[in-house]
Structure 1
Amino acid sequence: MTLTGADRDAGGVRSWLWWGRRRSAVLDVGLAFVSALECAVEGVGFAEKAGLPVPLGVLFGLVVGSVLLVRRRWPIGVVLVSIAVAPAEMGFLMGIVGLYTLAASEVPRRITAVLAGMSTVAVFVVTVVRMRQDVAQADVGQPDIDPSGWYVPVVSLFMTLGLNAPPLLFGLYIGARRRLMESLRERADSLEQELSLLADRAEQRAQWARQEERTRIAREMHDVVAHRVSLMVVHAAALQAVALKDPQKAVRNAALVGDMGRQALTELREMLGVLREGTAPAGPAPVPLAAVGRAAAAAAEAAAEDGPCLDALEALCEQSRLAGAAVEFVVVGEPRAYAPEVERTAYRVVQEALTNVHKHAAGAKVVVRLAHREAEVAMQVENGPCPSDAGDADVRLPSGGNGLVGMRERVLRLGGVFVSGETDAGGFKVSAVLPDRP
């Protein structure tokens, strides 16, 4: 927070003050005034006993009593002054308030105990001496009272404890309560900071989850649309080329284009339906983040279960053959069932690799290999160099450059290995290995 000039000036004024609030200052000034009056009155008797001028005793009492004004800043000094003037039989209010302030302050307990003991001894000695004098003066008519016996010490002890014990105990209680409140306030502040940090982290996690969901949806849309539309564009180019020369082949290509368009729309509807089922219902009450996360997880699981599997790879290769590509499908090992997300990821990798072949190597020979191993499944799509006389060179399929990135993200998310790059023969190869249980 930025401090203004007025705040700095106010801080400079308060630098020599020790009161946190105005009413505290008013209270201390009032107590100091009462204590000064008390000590001034008691200073008259002290001056008479000490043979001093009365005005000097009054002035001495006013100065001593005014020390109570600094009790919050220097409580030890106030108690020491009250102990020092105890033989003069003045400053009883100063001693009581000083002990209370000392016990309630942050002074170490050892110092508090020593000063409390010194004050108690001083008050006890002064009380014993004064009572013996009073008893000796009043003993003329009461011979049964012995000033040297147990009466004076016991009564003096009770009077001393009655003067010193209550303010000391009450000060200890107030000090402990004040420290407890400060600790609770600090704990509340720390909890508030922790809650703020947790809220920020929750917001970051929610933002990260939204970003992950956007990426997943974009990847799904790319996988569903790119392959089908690429084949549709290839068939449309072939249809344009043979429309006049071979009407029967043109009809077959048109039918294939229609079938692929319907398949693409069906897959889009299924994916959008799963996303709608995974969203929270609209309503006036806010939906907890945990509920949204569970709904998103359920949607992802449903999408994984309803998605394509390894059994559909033969049909996928057949679609590419119908588009004019020479695709060979090779299976190694004994086929078996895998986790839904593993089969779905393997299918998407092969699908995207074939889509890239249609985009960048039209007419090239393609070999799709699927290997079932002991604890993993491996797939590889390798195409040869693009022939120079390829008739589909004018198809001009657009490319967003996200196909390989999406495949790598899918495979790495399941703990697999993904490798892609050019071959020595001038073609391109995409390989991926997935664990049977991610």
Structure 2
Amino acid sequence: MTPTPSEPLTDRARDYLDLDSLLTDAERRTQATVRAFVDDRIRPYIADWYERAHFPREIAPQMGALGLLGMHLTGYGCAGRSAVEYGLAAMELEAGDSGLRTFVSVQGSLAMTAIHRHGSEEQKRQWLPRMATGELIGCFGLTEPTAGSDPASMRTFARRDGAGDGADWVLSGAKRWIGLASIAAVAVIWAQTDDGIRGFLVPTDSPGFTATPIAGKLSMRASIQCDITMDDVRLPADAVLPGVVGLKGPFSCLNEARYGILWGVLGAARDSYEAAVRYSLQRTQFDRPLAGYQLTQRKLADMVLELQKGQLVALHTGRLKDAGRLQPQQISFGKLNNVREAIAICRQARELLGGNGITLEHSPLRHADNLESVRTYEGTDDVHTLVMGQAITGLPAFR
């Protein structure tokens, strides 16, 4: 008998190196809980959401109830879970769809982390508890139409209007590819000021703030990305994040997001690989299962090699993070390698599914399309290559 799409694979096909044995009981429980949530609340609906380019807003409080929003943060209603547990959750969510994992990343690793790490006590109490439950959604505005990989060249500017420390801020500029902006209650906006780059908490109902969803996407269709325009948005003096000046503020948040990505993409890769295994065992060609041919087995072996190597990279990176020893250039290693290999696995899986693989009945091509976005955001392949190059040689080569 061969497995149907709903039946489990053999242990060797599912986890060739028995990497589950490297996890603690608490880590396995977290992974199992999130996997069950994905099986119940995402898998049955994701093809429809993707086809309609629909983000299910109702899923936010469901994720909040599981402690997935800002789950690596402590206090203010956040779960305070380990880096490895957060990574495992990201992997399981992205096995459902990159767009749903991206929501958790934007909400927790970007918007909530910015407030938690750089905000005042009052700002934390105002925003974080309701963001942790999913009642309120946040977004993170760094990228601009002309400033993607080079955020230092951003043109968005915040000026003081008035005298003294109580003077208002007036914010003008544009941001692009900002996840969740059209449904967010608060935007973390990074802007130039006379004193350097600062972060601002901008209620999205502020006059002059406009978020417009980007249409016509071929990737991340079950997610929302927006253009933001800010036309003299007036903010009170205490809208600024007081804890940081300069790009180290947004970069510290991006590193949190990149860490989640290097785990998450392995979920898309694993789901695609497992779909290919099941399909090749069921699909008969020339009177025998497709899985019985040497070329098929070579492709499956290549997929599991890179998948499990990527999982080892992610787990080791997570252990370093939990130990407080993780460096940003090590996150670049995982983001560069795991995204690149995940795309290759998804494409190979699609190939094994033949013509049927281009339909939404099967997940690999959807995952591959999504990963084109993941490969671009939070640092392109080229940027992470140069981060690693500088770490290796001591010589910056960005310009």
- Greater RCO, CA 8 A, separation 6+: 2
Specify which structure has the higher proportion of strand. 2
TM-score (norm 1): 0.25
